[in-house]
Structure 1
Amino acid sequence: MKALFTLAWKSLLNRRASFLLTLFAVALSVALFLGVDKARTGAREGFGHTISGTDLIIGAPTGSVNLLLYSVFRMGNATAEVSWPTYQKLSARDDIAWTVPISLGDSHRGFRVMGTDHAYFEHYQYGRGESLRFAKGREMDDLFDAVVGADVARELGYEIGSPLVLSHGLGKADFGSGHENRPFRVVGILAPTGTPVDRTVIVSLEAITAIHVGWESGAKNPLSDSITEDMIRSFNLTPKTVTAIYAGLKRKGTILRTRREINTNKGEPLMAIIPGEALAELWSVTAMAERALLAVSIFVIAVGVVSILTSILTSLNERRREMSILRAVGARPGHIFGLLTLEAGLIGFGGAALGIVIVHVLVLIAGPIVMQRYGISLGGTGPGMTDLITLLAVTGASLLAGAIPAWAAFRRSLADGLSVKL
């Protein structure tokens, strides 16, 4: 067996150009497959770890996926809001331990602005129950204090004390936004979380009310510029509405009953969702696209395996004399069969191994960047079970593909190749 392996290896090196091209074709196909799988798995884990420890998310009726996307992932917009009196009634429920109100709708240079209160820093958790930590500074204390996520601080170069101006709506430019006369200052920078929090500017609920003093039906009143900061501080800045509410229950066993009671509330229409269920619904929506992408990746691997078959088949005619000489010096038909099959297996194994190395090198280089920008973890840099299964599957498929030209060579006679055909 050792001699056969050595012979197969030397035979491949003798045809190193076609061997290396086929090897790289297989490697790239395996790298594509594993890259897609890591991105898919990372996206699921990243979305799943964005919020934890929150039993219910409550908002206006808009669809569970939409409510989850805009309240947690800052994607899309709310179609309606929850009134402040309704929020207070929910907070006073006997079965609810804590609530976190959030208000969305403004932005700062392309980053979402979220209004909330101190309960957000106390109760919001991500990952495996991790709480928010400050890399620098503290929570909001003054009306015009702001806390920024790690990505906001990094991309805009903000430090403690940096001024910032909020924009009305979701535009990327602050100029002409209408809030220039009410600037904020950065008092805290959060540590990276790998979640949408990193790309969020956090202010108080009262601050959201304050910057909209003088605005009516989404338009700025020309007289609003005459309202001074001292005048604003003297106003009642209790918010009229909130966009959504995070809620934690006193007993986890009451979650279904509490959700049903909120959803069937006879007063203001509300929708309460369980984050995990809404995520499952989101994945069911994207499942078709995931399967299609995975199918394309598997098809690419199949093309790589076919390239092994093509490479060996096209070389058979050139190697007829080589096969006959091996038979003449005592090689049995089974040795010829094993030689060609082993060559295919070596190409498949080497290509798959190289593809795995390529993927992990790319993860090592690009992983931190993807994590910072999109909150998607591409996994560790060490080989995993998926890598091992892919390696074995590609090697096995290559051995099977190699059996086709091996069988053709097996059936050829000793005289074939030694005789000269005119």
Structure 2
Amino acid sequence: MSTLLLAWKSLLNRRTTALLTLFSIAISVSLLLGVEKLRTEAKRGFTQTLSGTDLIVGPRTGPIQLMLYSIFRIGDATNSISWESYERIDEHPQVAWSVPLSLGDSHRGYRVLGTNDSYLEHYRYANRQPLRVDKGAWFSDLHDAVIGAEVARALNYQLADSLVLAHGTGRISFANHDDQPFRVSGILAPTGTPVDQTIHVSLPAIEAIHNGWESGAAPATSSQVATDQHQADEHEHENEHENEHENEHENEHENEHEHGLEPGSITAALVGLKSRVATLSVQREINQYEAEPLLAILPGVTLRQLWSLIGTAEKALLAISVFVVIAGLVGMLTSLLASLNERRREMAILRALGARPRHIFTLMLSESVLLAGAGSALGLGLLYLLLLAAQPIASGLYGIHLPITAPGFYDLAIIAAVVGGALMMGLIPAWQAYRHSLSDGLSIRT
């Protein structure tokens, strides 16, 4: 009879204790693999929040602060970029496209982003995935709003629903733009990024709702402002129809300027270059811009810097999981050591039947490996069940995609490390059984 088969039968003879040890190791391994997958996917999703953008341009501040408020909608900008400076950047010979971003308002705690059609056309996330309007259409009217998937889910908004923007970024605001309500014209498909928690409106809409708010308070007569903006909206559409054969980009700027809706400033801008080789030179030009203090950052570099600051929590979670696995292996060791007192006679009989000390030693090690191997396999199966259950929750609430894929090299390395740790733990009871099996079993104890 082979040693592994004998070890298996021995474990079956002590099935209750063996099963408890098995489940302990399975839960430990499942937790370790699950935390590692969650950590890896969270980091990947974080670093791929923005993809395909070469530079982020904003007022001169810290790179991380610029990244936080322009991409993650965290915090507020301390300054802004003049529209003239943005246009000069957009006209740079090396710039292929640019996306203006205007922040500062909110709706029930969700940030409002003023932008234009280039946002839908050029914004990319993950592996250069484009934004997609899941329901309705991108804004075309002055008071159209396109909301993210999380906004729609949390506030239960549907197409054509009305919403009022608030002045400022607080969850509760006493300065609302009640005179100019917006209509939900579209709902974006989920992205797992801050886009899901953003309300998108046009740049002219941002200017329209702030006419008369120069002092920071609502204008005294808001009805006339609303009427003027409605007329401006009608004139804008008339001009679009009259000039449909002209360049769309120039037409939009002319209409906005004519009706006083061209923005005076923006919060930041995303920039895509014609050649990646020119990235550093264009960045240096913007950072040395003399008309006003500007800052251009590399998104990938800044995202990695930001993750290094907030990645301490995930490292601590991984360390806790490792200790849980160690606790499971120590439990296995305790179980094997405790069983030695009950198995002295068994070991002695095996010796009397011709088993050598090395056979006893190998038997104990085989039991450790079998428990760790079976526990790891069970833990892996438990992990996949948990992934099936947690996938929609993690994606919908936290924007973390947890793919269900075959175990990779890293997963197999973790399982091998667990089995190796069990092997090391099994050396202690195996050595004791090797040394004392015959004498302990045949001696009379009182």
* TM-score bracket for this pair, using the shorter chain length: over 0.9
In 2, Cα distance between the equivalents of 1:409 and 1:305?
Answer: 19
Counterpart of 2:18? 19
Counterpart of 2:195? 197
Q: Does 1:260 align with 2:284?
A: yes
Counterpart of 1:206? 204
Kindly provide the CA deviation profile for residues 376-419 of structure 1, in whole angstroms up to 9, marking residues without a partner as x. Answer: 12232432222211211111211121111101110115242223
Q: Conserved in 2, the CA contact under 8 Å of 1:352 and 1:390?
A: no
Q: CA deviation at 1:83?
A: 1.5
In 2, Cα distance between the equivalents of 1:322 and 1:44?
Answer: 52
Bigger drift between 196-205 and 283-292 goes to: 283-292
Counterpart of 1:368? 392
In 2, Cα distance between the equivalents of 1:164 and 1:288?
Answer: 39
Q: Secondary structure at the match of 1:411?
A: helix
Q: CA deviation at 1:65?
A: 1.5
Counterpart of 1:180? 178
Bigger drift between 4-13 and 56-65 goes to: 4-13
For structure 2, the 5+ residue unaligned runs are 233-258
Q: Secondary structure at the match of 1:186?
A: strand
Q: Conserved in 2, the CA contact under 8 Å of 1:166 and 1:177?
A: no
Counterpart of 1:400? 424
Q: CA deviation at 1:224?
A: 4.1
In 2, Cα distance between the equivalents of 1:217 and 1:352?
Answer: 65
Counterpart of 2:8? 9
Q: CA deviation at 1:307?
A: 1.4
Kindly provide the CA deviation profile for residues 82-114 of structure 1, in whole angstroms up to 9, marking residues without a partner as x. Answer: 121211121122221211101112222222211
In 2, Cα distance between the equivalents of 1:378 and 1:74?
Answer: 24
Corresponding letter in the other structure for 2:310 = T
Counterpart of 2:269? 245
In 2, Cα distance between the equivalents of 1:145 and 1:81?
Answer: 24
In 2, Cα distance between the equivalents of 1:13 and 1:168?
Answer: 70
In 1, Cα distance between the equivalents of 2:87 and 2:315?
Answer: 44
Counterpart of 1:105? 104
Bigger drift between 254-263 and 380-389 goes to: 380-389
Q: Secondary structure at the match of 2:272?
A: strand
Counterpart of 2:92? 93
Identical amino acids, percent of aligned pairs: 53
Q: Secondary structure at the match of 1:187?
A: strand
**How does 1:4-403 map onto structure 2 within 5 Å?**
4-173=3-172, 176-221=174-219, 223-233=220-230, 234=232, 236-403=260-427
Bigger drift between 209-218 and 186-195 goes to: 209-218
Q: CA deviation at 1:289?
A: 4.0
In 2, Cα distance between the equivalents of 1:329 and 1:74?
Answer: 74
Q: Conserved in 1, the CA contact under 8 Å of 2:47 and 2:304?
A: no
Q: 1:287 to 1:178 in 2, by over 3 A?
A: closer
TM-score (norm 2): 0.89
Q: CA RMSD in A?
A: 1.9
Q: Conserved in 2, the CA contact under 8 Å of 1:165 and 1:183?
A: yes
Q: CA deviation at 1:173?
A: 4.8
Q: Secondary structure at the match of 2:310?
A: helix
Q: Conserved in 2, the CA contact under 8 Å of 1:215 and 1:224?
A: no
Q: Secondary structure at the match of 1:98?
A: strand
Q: 1:97 to 1:415 in 2, by over 3 A?
A: closer
Q: 1:225 to 1:50 in 2, by over 3 A?
A: same
Moved over 4 A (4+): none
Q: CA deviation at 1:288?
A: 4.2
Q: CA deviation at 1:146?
A: 0.8
Q: Conserved in 2, the CA contact under 8 Å of 1:360 and 1:382?
A: no
Q: Secondary structure at the match of 1:182?
A: coil
Q: 1:360 to 1:107 in 2, by over 3 A?
A: same
In 2, Cα distance between the equivalents of 1:415 and 1:55?
Answer: 75
Q: CA deviation at 1:209?
A: 1.7
Q: Secondary structure at the match of 2:93?
A: coil
Q: Conserved in 1, the CA contact under 8 Å of 2:175 and 2:218?
A: no
In 1, Cα distance between the equivalents of 2:344 and 2:437?
Answer: 10
- The aligned length equals 419
In 1, Cα distance between the equivalents of 2:186 and 2:142?
Answer: 14
Bigger drift between 189-198 and 396-405 goes to: 189-198
Kindly provide the CA deviation profile for residues 221-243 of structure 1, in whole angstroms up to 9, marking residues without a partner as x. Answer: 4x143434222344512222211
Bigger drift between 224-233 and 359-368 goes to: 224-233
Q: 1:308 to 1:183 in 2, by over 3 A?
A: same
For structure 1, the 5+ residue unaligned runs are none
Q: Secondary structure at the match of 2:183?
A: strand
Q: Conserved in 1, the CA contact under 8 Å of 2:113 and 2:201?
A: yes
Q: CA deviation at 1:157?
A: 2.6
Q: Conserved in 1, the CA contact under 8 Å of 2:55 and 2:299?
A: yes
Q: CA deviation at 1:183?
A: 0.8
